[in-house]
Structure 1
Amino acid sequence: MSETETRAAVPAPRADADEKPLLRVEGLVKHFPIKKGLLQRQVGAVKAVDGIDFEVRRGETLGVVGESGCGKSTMGRLITRLLEPSGGKVEFDGTDITHLKTAGMRPLRRDIQMIFQDPYGSLNPRHTIGTIVSAPFKLQGVEPEGGVKKEVQRLLELVGLSPEHYNRYPHEFSGGQRQRIGIARALALKPRMVVADEPVSALDVSIQAQVVNLMDDLQDELGLTYVIIAHDLSVVRHVSDRIAVMYLGKIVELADRDSLYAAPMHPYTKALLSAVPIPDPSRRGAKSERILLKGDVPSPISPPSGCRFHTRCWKATQVCKTTEPPLAELRPGQRVACHHPENFEDQQPQDVVLLTAAKEAGELVPDTVKKAETPQEPEAPEVPEAPEVPETPEVPETPEVPAEPEAPEVPEQPGVPEEPEAPKKPEAPEKPGKD
């Protein structure tokens, strides 16, 4: 009997087993040491993943989003045991795989596969496509029905490539085609869980929908469980059942898809969703309500104390700086790590004094967003105004008595003409004096 038929003959798990999560992660930690000097002494550590807890149910798709450098890819390599955890616990189907060695992990490699982020670095340039995709069969000693070559050609056709590409090399393909080859290799052994690190980021927009629909069809057909790490929030919304939002090595919010997109409760989640562009030409002139975060993500070598988002949050108070909020379930199925969550009652109502960084960050937040998120204090009941006293009707003024008409001026009498002056007599000439 072929290996495929053997696996198909395995009875389905019982209903009580289905209730247990397929993957359980508790307090997962990964610190990369920083060494300096001739003796290579450790002087610090990069806290890529610093204590996260989550579960992945059977047959569901968990999306993981966050900024670059928040630890998403490191988390994916930890749960597939490609990296050794520094602390915490990873259980797969009830088996503790946290510190299993290579020999112990070999049987589980059939059930846990990974699609890598870099399509150029994940394929050996010296091997043909047929050798790369058939490697899982040889490593696990599996002989598929019809032979390895026929199965590899079927997988290539399944992901949208031609079976004739069997003898070609990776350098003959584009980045999107290489990603398809990586997907075919990950699905070769029909695993139970696939961790996909940016599975469609290298693909053209016209091809992304085809690959996403392909993964959905394979999930229904093979009963796969996905952990999809992505930057594109639109893709995550389309493919995920639940979504985990990471920030600086921590999960700040974990909720089902509809609740997260309809009413995000963590300020960082709200800022992420505000950055999603809306392809609507009619909104071209509309005022944007995008939240611009202040500064860059702090260094994972020395993360901030308390809530790690308080250096960029517009709602941060003193308790956010000193006390780390736990990832608590504030609503059914929605867990949030925040002292002052959105769309929910304040967890620290007594602390209302904003930090200086919060005041600076608040200048970048639209007023409409701040009004919607500011908890409204109960308004004092309005005192009814006293009824207005009707004004006293004005007494009509007494009509003025018309003044007596002035007497007409008497015209002046024409004056008597003055008499002409008598002509003056000429003066007598002076008589000459005697000598």
Structure 2
Amino acid sequence: MSETNKTDAVEDAAGKAAIPQQASAPEGGSAEREVLLRVTGLTKHFPIKKGLLQRQVGAVKAVDGIDFEVRKGETLGVVGESGCGKSTMGRVITRLQDPTSGTIEFEGRDITRLSTGKMRPMRRDVQMIFQDPYGSLNPRHTIGSIVSAPFRLQGVEPEGGVKKEVQRLLELVGLNPEHYNRYPHEFSGGQRQRIGIARALALKPKLVVADEPVSALDVSIQAQVVNLMDDLQEELGLTYVIIAHDLSVVRHVSDRIAVMYLGKIVELADRNSLYEAPMHPYTKALMSAVPVPDPKRRGTKSERILLRGDVPSPIAPPSGCRFHTRCWKATEICKTTEPQLLELKPGQRVACHHPENFADQAPQDTVLLTAAKEASELVGEAVLEESAETSAAVAAEVAAAEPAEAAEEASVEAEVSEAELETAEEPESEEPEATAEAPETDSQESTDK
């Protein structure tokens, strides 16, 4: 039973539960931390209905089978193009929307099919920061009413009273506590987002899902909000799932990053491995789109990768690898066989038959598809040369390792063969003596007769 649930069970004299205490930040590496959230085979399909009888004729496969886990105290960043299913995934793991299939485990408890009443106590531990700071706040309510809403809904009486706690939260996120009675229209976009963060932190949750928390803000305000979230994580021991499309922001705040494309996770790795040596072609294309502000360093950066066409429709996604219609390395196996999300390097999982910076998973399939030939026309020559060089380097390393292994196997085989020859020579030397003695005995018997 978690600390929050224990405190929930204790009621004060007024009949209201005391506000739960926030757990301290975990120590140690991410590999040693306890898993807080585990998602397995998660899918979310929105049905398409037509006709008078509203029969289902299809489905929008917004999230189509993803697996990941989030450990206590870490930040998982989720990136991808618009329409790839990032926001839907965030709403499903917080149970604001019901999943079509799969399992969602929070602190070892399956919350996939919990009813609204049973999910209410879990809302204290799982909160969400919404994307639009202009649409997520009710314009008819004051700031004090908005931030104190979680206390009323959960029946929690904070120590010192609701107003004092709300003012403390406003001060915590960098706002003036005297703005308690103001309305949302009196604040800027950055201030509204801070109000949304204060509301999400009211009940001291363990997991916060932030859906594009800074995309609607000015660049200078983005840095303030990102730094605020970092400080709050260190102070309160929060666990974040940050959904964004700004790769610079994600790299700054995330411990691990998941790259999504058309409802699938195509790569999942820690931020250093992902940015220094991306393994999926789509990830490499995303990295090439990050602008370099220093003019002196622009010449050292590889050429920009331009992908042909748009993201396919999630109603009828392509067969096999969903990126093969835009990939410059796609072959026949990419069209027919869906790649699995495998851990090719320690801490780096990728779903690709022809990964970058690693040995080819399907070296026998070398014939490019027509879509790949067209995409290669838009991919810079420097990128293709770099891919060829890295593939050749990896192949050389594998080839260099193979002779050593072959030499060891040959030496073992030679020892085995020598031992077999020694054992085989002994019976061969005895057999001729027996055959030579046999005629003598026959001649002796004939003379006796």
Aligned residue in 1 for 2:414? none
Q: Report if the CA contact (8 A) 2:25-2:236 is conserved.
A: no
With normalisation by structure 1, the TM-score equals: 0.83
Which of 112, 117, 129 matches 1:115?
A: 129
The more displaced of 17-26 and 348-357 is: 17-26
2:62 to 33, 48, 58: 48
After superposition, what is the alpha-carbon deviation per residue over 1:95-148, rounded to whole angstroms, capped at 9, x for unaligned? Answer: 000011111101110000000111122111111111000000111111112211
Confirm or deny: 8 A CA contact 1:179 1:202 kept in the other structure: no
CA contact (8 A) 2:23 2:237 kept: no
Q: C-alpha distance in 2, partners of 1:236/1:193?
A: 17
Matches of 1:188 and 1:306, distance apart in 2:
45
Deviation at 1:14, TM superposition (A): 12
Q: What are the equivalent positions in structure 2 for 1:178-197 lying under 5 Å apart? A: 178-197=192-211
Tell me which structure has the larger Cα radius of gyration.
Answer: 1
Tell me the CA shift for residue 218 of structure 1: 1.3
State the partner residue of 1:409.
none
Query: In structure 2, the residue corresponding to 1:45 is in which secondary structure?
Result: strand
User: Judging changes above 3 Å, is the alpha-carbon distance between structure 1 residues 61 and 189 closer, same or farther for their aligned structure 2 residues?
Assistant: same
Opposite residue 82 of structure 1, the aligned amino acid is L
TM-score w.r.t. structure 2 length?
A: 0.80
- Pairing of 1:159-238 with structure 2 (within 5 A): 159-238=173-252
1:306-363 residue CA offsets vs partner (Å, 9 max, x unmatched): 0000000000000000000000000010000000000000000000000000000001
Change (3 A) 1:10 1:4: farther
Deviation at 1:176, TM superposition (A): 2.1
Q: How has the CA–CA distance of structure 1 residues 8 and 174 changed in structure 2, closer, same or farther, with 3 Å as cutoff?
A: closer
Q: Which has the higher helix share?
A: 2
Alignment partner, residue 379 of structure 2 = 365
Q: Structure 2 CA distance, aligned partners of 1:49 and 1:119? A: 25
Distance 2:100 2:362 in 1: 33
Q: In the alignment, what sits opposite 1:414?
A: none
Note if 1:351 corresponds to 2:386: no
SS in structure 1 at match of 2:59: strand
Which secondary structure state, in structure 2, belongs to the residue aligned with residue 22 of structure 1? strand
What's the offset of the Cα at 1:53? 0.2
Alpha-carbon deviation of 1:52?
0.2
Shift of 1:181: 0.9
> What CA distance in whole angstroms lies between the structure 2 residues aligned with 1:344 and 1:166?
56
User: Is the CA contact 2:19–2:156 (under 8 Å) kept in the aligned structure 1?
Assistant: no
Amino acid at match of 2:53: L
| Residue 325 to residue 12, structure 1, CA distance change in 2 (3 Å) | closer
Listed as ranges, the matches of 1:281-292 within 5 Å are 281-283=295-297, 289-292=303-306
Q: Contact 1:4–1:145 (CA<8 Å) still a contact in 2? A: no
Q: Give the gaps of 5 or more residues in structure 1.
A: 379-435
Superposition map of 1:403-422 within 5 A: none
SS in 1 for 2:35: coil
Q: How far, CA to CA, are the matches of 1:307 and 1:230 in structure 2?
A: 23
1:127, 1:365 → 2: CA distance?
A: 52
2:41 is aligned to 27
User: Number of matched residues?
Assistant: 378
